[in-house]
A and B are shown apart, each in its own frame.
Chain A
Amino acid sequence: MDTLVLQVLNSLFYASILFQIACGLTLIYGVMRIVNLAHGNLYALGAYVSGWVLGLLATPGTQPRMWFFVLLLAGAVAAAAAGAILEPTLLRPLYKRAEEYQLLITFGLLLILEDLMHMVWGPHPLTSSALPDLLGSSTILGATYPNYNILVIAIGFVAALGVWAFVYRTKFGVILRATSQNMRMAAALGVNVKRVYVQAFTLGCFLAGLGGAIIMPISGAVLGMGIEALILAFVVVVIGGLGSLEGALVGAIIVGFVRTLGIMYFAEIELAVLYLIATIVLLVRPAGLFGRA
């Protein structure tokens, strides 16, 4: 019983992080029809910035304090800021060009960001593993589980709820969906499409950065984490449907559970199984489980 509870919690933990990455990826695709290959690097940026900020405070002799958790947000803010700069400078000139170029420029961005993080923070991982210990752990149905991991799961839920409310319950959400459905019509009706694009891209990057920031105390900020995460996020959005927020959530949960099962029973082919699931979904339902078109 307690192993089952642990596995379910672990799956939800993975799903929470994956959702935050995939949600941004799918949001950006849904609004501006760009698949951002550098999206994983913005997730890594979130991890690095929050690791760096917490590292500045960790002088010998100081104990981590509760309010340090707030500093994790720095990573999310940094990723959002990077997004707000990158969209108008690099992506905007490319919306009218062929898809190949859009993919390529984000691939170039991936190479640049990967090495920039290497330059700034060096080859060694950043981490603040003492932080999660502050929260202790609790016993759920006989299983002992760290409270920090529960917090991560909760943040995932809040993020999902927040994005849903934002997109479906606010005026900005209406404008966003209108732009996504028909950019020209939205522009003709007076929507400032450029601004919507920057906002959507920034929001997507914020979510990715948040995912990176909250996983940092557990797995650290390491080189290559972005490239790895991107591929998992691809699996999530392919299963759920590129451009669909509900799909990102369901896809993240599916991938989270399959990974946990995989680590237990078929560790060697865990990744292969995930890609195979994605392939089968694309064959049976080309637009993914929740995709339109």
Chain B
Amino acid sequence: MRQKVLTYAAPIAVALAAVPFVLPPYQTILLSYGLIMAIAALGFNLLLGYTGLLSFGHSAYFGVGAYAAAFLVKYAGITSIEAFLLGGLIASALVSAIFGFICVRHTRIFFSILALALSQVLWSLALKLFWVTGGTDGLRVPTPTLLGGLVQTTGDKLVFLSRTYYYLVLVVFGISVAVMWLIVHSPFGKALQAIRDNETRAEFVGVEVRKYRWIAFLVSGVFTGLAGTLWVPLNGLTTPDVLYWPFSGEIVFLTVLGGFRTFSGPIVGAVAFNYLKSYAVGLTVYWQFLLGVVLVVLVLALPSGIVGTLSQLRGRLARSAWHEPA
């Protein structure tokens, strides 16, 4: 495993750290969005890929993370990113603990619909209680301070977002990947996979299925909430759109795009989807159409996603090389 970390993770980490020096600011910021969505997708995939529960309501936790930061600005006058992250973690943990408690009583399609219905409670509240949430106008979040002002964050916003904030996102992303890697390779993670593969057998070997699902839901929601909190200062604004269920659909989409049967799939999918979406939005007003076609083709032709398909190809190449030594 150490070997694998060195051969794959180390070069990628170096490349990601070099990005602000190589690519123009716009590209760096675009990548930040991708990395943030990757954190959300990592969390989402703990449920879909590892526990076998498809949530069509993960917009709720992303939105809670985002609105938590916005509320801190509006009602407490706090603009520290550390406070945002702490507030976002607490808020999304609370909400996903409650919603998860309700949702894990069901599985399969009922789980999906219940998660969706609950997320829409939050969406309708954010939309209708406009004197609290700003309604469709949303809430603004200014440039945050970092380490209590030790790191210079005033001045050109573009420079801040493409340098300082990018590295912050990168660090949080790195920690998230490491933590998620530990979780899925821990006995707890193995138990979740056992539940996914055979619920009854897992129950018989002593796994407390519902409790494990609930904890998985909680962890999943916190990761997605963290992504929401990181996303707000980058975007500068949060609107009820991040709570609306088509956004949950996007999270499902990008996870399947990368491949939900692998650890790295959601990360690759999130970054790829982010490029795909911003390219499509720039190309045509009918970007939804384009994304829809991609999704349909993906489901029909490449159900194992980018990472799954690549590893199948590599497996095939390796086999043919084995059979016909050059």
A: residues with CB less than 8 A from B are: 35, 37, 90, 93-94, 97, 99-101, 103-105, 107-116, 118-119, 227, 231, 234-235, 238, 242, 267-272, 275-276, 278-279, 282-283, 286
Contacts and interface: CB of A to CB of B under 8 A. Distances in A.
A112 B109 contact: no
11 contacts: A103-B109, A104-B256, A105-B300, A112-B289, A115-B288, A269-B124, A271-B120, A278-B117, A279-B114, A279-B117, A286-B110
Contacts of A105: 295-296, 299-300
Given A103-B56, A268-B128, A278-B117, 14 more contacts: A99-B54, A104-B256, A105-B296, A108-B294, A110-B249, A111-B289, A111-B291, A112-B293, A115-B286, A115-B289, A242-B109, A242-B113, A272-B124, A286-B110
Contact of B54 (A103, A110, A270, A286): A103
Nearest to B56: A103
A192 to B, nearest CB: 24
Contact of B292 (A97, A109, A278, A282): A109
Contacts of B289: 111-112, 114-116, 119
A289 to B, nearest CB: 14
Given A282-B106, A283-B105, A97 B116 contact: no
A115 B105 contact: no
Contacts of B293: 108, 112
Interface in B230-270: 245-246, 249, 252-253, 256, 260
Interface residues of B, number: 43
A97 B301 CA distance: 12
Given A100-B256, A279-B118, A112 B296 contact: yes
Interface string B150-180: 0000000000000000000000000000000
Interface of B: 48, 54, 56, 102, 105-106, 108-110, 112-114, 116-118, 120-121, 124-125, 127-129, 245-246, 249, 252-253, 256, 260, 285-289, 291-296, 299-300, 303
A235 B124 CA distance: 14
A119 B102 CA distance: 40
- Most B C-beta atoms less than 10 A away, residue of A35, A103, A275: A275
B124 A97 contact: no
Nearest to B291: A111
Given A238-B113, A238-B117, A275-B118, A108 B125 contact: no
Contact of B114 (A93, A119, A231, A282): A282
